[in-house]
Structure 1
Amino acid sequence: MWRFFGMLLFVVNAASAACPVWPLVIAHRGASGNLPEHTAAAYWLAMQQGADFIEADLVPTKDGVLVSRHENELSQSTNVATLSQFAKRKSRKIIDGIEVEGWFSEDFTLAELRELKARESKPELRPDSAAQNDRYPLITLAEIIQLVERFEQQSGRRVGLYLETKHPTYFRVEGRRLDGSLINQDISMMLLQQLSQWQRQADNPVYIQSFEISNLWWMHQQGLQQYQVKAKLIQLIGDMSGTSLYPASNFAEPWDLLGKTAREARQINPMLQQADFHYGQFFTAEGLKFLQSYADGIGPWKEQWFSQSQPQRKVFLSARSPLKVHPYTFRAEKTFLPAGVTDLTTELRQVFLQGIDGVFTDFTAIAVQSRAQACTN
């Protein structure tokens, strides 16, 4: 499955001396800087622009189909709020400890979601993409798989899938539908079942990522072998400072350690039994050892990963950690650029020269060009 990585490294080894490693370009929600995110058009454009992987966030429908949306709340990236037939589906729910109002994927069948169209989630920053609103339908995981297969047939180039399980604890044991019944959907198991079927005839590389710990632990200990799936596991890292804590925010703490699964999840490792455990504690010798016991890499928030005030990242370098590092998310708009950096090309060239293993970006074309400039000189 991973043989193409070896071939790629062989091809670029002589030319990439300027970069410690040849970094992956991961198309975050597709070419989402150019077109509405998580659509077939955005994924196809990203592959045409040279993405090594396309990233999809996965949430379930009422009838158990995995679809690609950044959140199960749909109004931020679709036209659902404008459709009168679904006006009564609006509700308020508690998701990972935070109250959210809107329309939710688990309250729609796939047939009903087919009536929705995608919209740009950052219209004030991306008016050109927003001009494409209401043109593209939502897309399922099965259809994404078909896209990468068709792209390889047409181009001869294999593209990998980078898949995120969104809110696994919520969907499995906490969340409820409009009628009050439990959702009771294990999206990690659903994902492995689907990948198992696909991998019987395809060997495209796959990464699976999550902000929670216990579902990745289960995959490593049991799920991947049980379903005969070949995939690398990535622990997503939120706020490392420990300041964005519940109930004000849930970006610093894995929700499976706080919600209804907390007692079970904290038994995985002694360090998780600390009442104040947060993502920053992964950046200790003990945390690094724990990560290496179940994950193949981390996906840190790039605003902190590259900050001089976050020396914790040095533990990965000093310990010569085998974990891959794929920071998120690199964007071209000025509001997302570091102080003193004029454009995304400059930022990415600096990042590549540091030896990062891959980057999540909304702007695939810029990243591919920046990698060529930084790593082949």
Structure 2
Amino acid sequence: MPEHTLAAYELAIEQGADFIEPDLVSTKDGTLIARHELNITETTDVGAHPEFASRRTAKTIDGKRAEGWFADDFTLAEIKTLRARQRLPFREQQFNGRFEIPTFQEVIELAKRASDRTGRVIGVYPETKHPTYHRSVGLPLEEKLIELLDHYGLNGSTAPVVIQSFETTNLKGLRKLTEIRLVQLIDGDGIAPDGGPVPGKPYDFTVSGDPRTYADLLTLDGLKAIKTYADGIGPWKRYLVGFADSAGRDRSADDSGEKLGEPTAVIRDAHSVGLFVHAWTFRNEPRYLASDYGGDPLNEYRQFFGLGVDAVFSDFPDTAVSARAACRK
């Protein structure tokens, strides 16, 4: 299914997912919708709508120049005329053009209906995308997010909700607004204009001139600092188990054929300061599996569950659930 559609979330729940994870961006009129990025060129059929041809533009978001169509240039009514597309070309494409772009409100209501139907609590795990950019254009995400959660009785420390962000400033702001569990996401390296890797860092660090990188946040001192405003970390899995030769490697590279290195101390250190660890992203395709796993994604899950991760983000919930069940025996 194309990601970030109600159909995809419904299938994930059917396959046993405990949480569904919408990436949140804002429309021009301030409605939170589920899209992988503000740039909706690859994830919708907007390019096939001649009425929106003039909306194609270029923007700099998180310091990167991108061209296409952007959600914050469309009203919700206009977004609802679009249909979702599968973002990754090597995945099934037959469902392109069938599903609407959902609002966050619709995602919450889906989770509530599924909880009633299945008898198990289905949580929501929203990610605030590009918070510095959204606030700069007068479309801040955080207040609207909390307002919606509060409306549905989900604004509390025991609510089946986790809010995540790759930035730090908005998480610190959210901590003042809510007791909902917060997660500091930890990204990998970026890619420079010349194609080489550059150390990854929260974009709000770039704006403020903070020299620290994501790797610095995973030191013991960095984890202690995260604990002052968040409840957990969501690291790229290569920070937990790297490759034998991963110097200067960005997270967009193909994992197949790579040999694993030794596990790091990140899980142990995070737990020692009271942070849980939710690693990302686990996928079944061979291109995402190191050679040590022998082409079997279950082997990767077994390793990470064995190392003590508290949860995983997966594009294939049925595989993740099967692996977790096997590890619990």
Q: TM-score, normalised by structure 2?
A: 0.88
How much has 1:231 moved relative to structure 2?
1.2
Opposite residue 285 of structure 1, the aligned amino acid is: L
Q: Name the counterpart of 1:137.
A: 100
- After TM superposition, the structure 1 = structure 2 runs for residues 182-221 of structure 1, keeping only pairs within 5 Å, are 183-199=137-153, 204-220=159-175
How much has 1:278 moved relative to structure 2?
0.4
SS at 2:127 equivalent? strand
1:74–1:105 Cα contact (<8 Å) kept: yes
1:208–1:232 Cα contact (<8 Å) kept: yes
Q: Distance between the aligned counterparts of 1:346 and 1:245, measured in 2?
A: 29
Report whether the alignment pairs 1:235 with 2:184: yes
Q: Name the counterpart of 1:10.
A: none
SS at 1:258 equivalent? helix
- Structure 1: stretches of 5+ with no match in the other structure: 1-34, 174-182, 225-229, 264-272
Opposite residue 205 of structure 1, the aligned amino acid is: P
Q: Name the counterpart of 1:258.
A: 206
Change (3 A) 1:315 1:145: closer
Report whether the alignment pairs 1:358 with 2:311: yes
Change (3 A) 1:315 1:43: closer
Report whether the alignment pairs 1:92 with 2:58: yes
Q: Name the counterpart of 2:91.
A: 126
How much has 1:204 moved relative to structure 2?
4.3
- After TM superposition, the structure 1 = structure 2 runs for residues 292-331 of structure 1, keeping only pairs within 5 Å, are 292-307=227-242, 313-318=264-269, 320-331=272-283
Report whether the alignment pairs 1:169 with 2:132: yes
1:283–1:312 Cα contact (<8 Å) kept: no
Change (3 A) 1:200 1:136: closer
How much has 1:313 moved relative to structure 2?
4.2
Opposite residue 215 of structure 2, the aligned amino acid is: G
- Structure 2: stretches of 5+ with no match in the other structure: 245-260
Change (3 A) 1:133 1:165: same
Q: Distance between the aligned counterparts of 2:199 and 2:10, measured in 1?
A: 31
Kindly provide the CA deviation profile for residues 205-236 of structure 1, in whole angstroms up to 9, marking residues without a partner as x: 1100000000001111x121xxxxx4101000
Kindly provide the CA deviation profile for residues 248-286 of structure 1, in whole angstroms up to 9, marking residues without a partner as x: 777701111223xx26xxxxxxxxx4xx31011112232
RMSD (Å), alpha carbons: 2.1
Q: Name the counterpart of 1:22.
A: none
Q: TM-score, normalised by structure 1?
A: 0.77
Kindly provide the CA deviation profile for residues 134-191 of structure 1, in whole angstroms up to 9, marking residues without a partner as x: 0011000000111011112222111111010000000111xxxxxxxxx211111211
How much has 1:200 moved relative to structure 2?
6.5
Change (3 A) 1:63 1:251: farther
2:154–2:161 Cα contact (<8 Å) kept: no
| Larger RCO of the pair (alpha carbons < 8 Å, separation 6+) | 1
SS at 2:279 equivalent? coil
SS at 1:253 equivalent? coil
SS at 2:112 equivalent? helix
Count how many residue pairs are aligned between Structure 1 and Structure 2: 308
Report whether the alignment pairs 1:244 with 2:218: no
Change (3 A) 1:232 1:112: same
Give the alignment partner of residue 117 of structure 2, picking from 154, 157, 179. Answer: 154
- Stretches of 4+ moved more than 3 A in 1? 200-204, 243-251, 308-313
Q: Which moved more, 1:83-92 or 1:315-324?
A: 315-324
Opposite residue 297 of structure 1, the aligned amino acid is: G
The percent identity for this pair of structures is 41
Kindly provide the CA deviation profile for residues 8-29 of structure 1, in whole angstroms up to 9, marking residues without a partner as x: xxxxxxxxxxxxxxxxxxxxxx
SS at 1:62 equivalent? coil
How much has 1:62 moved relative to structure 2?
0.6
Kindly provide the CA deviation profile for residues 328-363 of structure 1, in whole angstroms up to 9, marking residues without a partner as x: 100000000122212211211222122110000000
